[in-house]
Chain A
Amino acid sequence: MDFFSFSIVSPLTLSLRVAGLATFFSFVAAMSMAWLLARRKGPLPTFLDAACTLPLVLPPTVLGYYLILLVGRRGVIGQWLNEVGITLIFSWQGAVIAATIVVFPLLYKSARAALEQVNPHLENAARTLGASEWRVFVSVSLPLAWKGIFAGLMLAFARGMGEFGATLMIAGNIPGKTQTLALAIYDAFQAGNDLLAARLVILTSLVCVSLLMAAELLTTRRPR
């Protein structure tokens, strides 16, 4: 039985690692943006909101192209990184960057919506009770918006698991190094290895279903 052979385990662990790290980095950035932009109106917030949503509507290949311009060997940041000895192209770290950009809008959108649903009277009450903006966020907004943010986290992680286009552009498809589940399935299918492709497809589906179920159980455990 070679179900857990190298060709399956390696893409799975890589996918989990990439999706996990991407979700984490994106979470920090998305929460800050959502906090800054929640309930703001005007030309600048509208522009920033559009910019934050852009990765959701742009084809992943376009994102990949932009990223190569940015962190590629001759890219704006890439050149500088190259001198320090860091190469992001064709590395799993590059896949993390690609996935971070792709999942960002999912986290940002759900966090902003959740924060805007918090009754503004509660935040104002905290302010009149002497709370700083940071404390209002940590002790009132965040606990009350947590459910929506958590749903966004799960969605982002699942999307990160399935990331294909931008990852292929920036990290390539190197078995054992940058080949995630989605890439491995495509590879196996192209090579006519239907059995491996089917196993990978089933594995991916199982992981995603159990993730979503776990999320549902966690959020409904303590009803409020």
Chain B
Amino acid sequence: MIDVRLYKTFRDADAPFCLDVDFSIGADNKTVALFGPSGSGKSLTLHCLAGLVRPDKGRISLNGQVLYDGADAVFTPARRRRIGYMFQDYALFPHLNVLQNVAYARSGCFARHLRREEKEQAQGMLDRFAIGHLARQMPGRLSGGQRQRVALVRALNAEPELLLLDEPFSALDTLLRERLREELLELFAALTIPVIIITHDPDDVDAFAAAVILFDHGNAHPVPEYMALRAGFASAGRCLRHLQQTFASRNESVPSPRG
């Protein structure tokens, strides 16, 4: 169960932006998609959730634990939130090999020196995800798909309670994207934690999401009963376009209370 209420403004002269989102994700929705054009505040929302950006006000709670509360000045730093984050460019540490990358969440200050049990544990994780043979490779030599898998294993090795994926396929070409989507789906089947995925590809929504939150100019619109709605459309793209138009017209006719 995740409750998110965020408010943050950027008073940049050339691009003022205001993030104002309010949504909650029930325990039943395993994977939720944040769908919307780039610049609509999806990444910023995930950054706030993970504790990498501090909102101006609002409240974030995960499984009953308050991670941020603007009114009570509660702010749990990213390192204690137990939220896994897979970045768009995968953000593997280029100076560490795959094993050291995966062990990072459990190793000491000098990430190159692993104790034996840390090595064995990380190797075990790699084996479980069928990439044990990559342990000694440097990230620069991996293919896009291998990088993604290493990033996922590294995030899971920290034993997160929630997993955030920021456009996991945007760095890949179309055919590879198809294949990796299937692979990732299989891996997700074994997960017991909720996943939030950012995407602007309707096919991703179709493949992963049981629920959708539509993003638009810094606002979030949770879609009630997305699966039922989706059944009435020929493709996810049409369904999402229809939803976008609905919310857009609603915004025009009813001005939002905060202007």
Contact = CB atoms under 8 A, between A and B. Distances in A.
Answer whether A and B are interacting partners.
yes
B42 to A, nearest CB: 16
B39 interface: no
A130 interface: yes
Which 9 A-B pairs give the minimum distances between C-beta atoms?
A125-B91, A127-B78, A121-B91, A128-B85, A129-B105, A139-B111, A130-B79, A121-B87, A143-B95
Contacts of B154: 129
Contacts of A221: none
B130 interface: no
B209 to A, nearest CB: 22
A182 to B, nearest CB: 38
A131 B79 contact: yes
A126 B109 contact: no
Contacts, number: 67
Interface of B: 47, 50-52, 77-81, 83-85, 87-89, 91, 93-95, 104-105, 109-111, 140, 154-155, 158
Interface of A: 119, 121-122, 124-132, 134-135, 138-140, 143-144, 224
B87 A130 contact: no
A130 B158 contact: yes
A140 B112 CA distance: 11
Contacts of B81: 128
A124 B154 CA distance: 14
A144 B79 contact: no
Contact of B95 (A125, A128, A144): A144
17 contacts: A121-B91, A122-B91, A122-B94, A124-B47, A124-B78, A127-B51, A127-B52, A128-B79, A128-B84, A129-B79, A129-B158, A130-B80, A130-B158, A139-B104, A139-B109, A139-B110, A143-B95
Chain A interface, >50% SS class? helix
Contact of B94 (A128, A129, A138, A224): A224
Contact of A124 (B91, B109, B158): B91
Contacts of B88: 121
Nearest to A127: B78
A130 B78 CA distance: 7
A127 B83 CA distance: 10
A157 to B, nearest CB: 25
Nearest to A139: B111
Contacts of B80: 130
Contacts of A140: 93, 111
A121 B93 CA distance: 10
A128 B109 contact: no
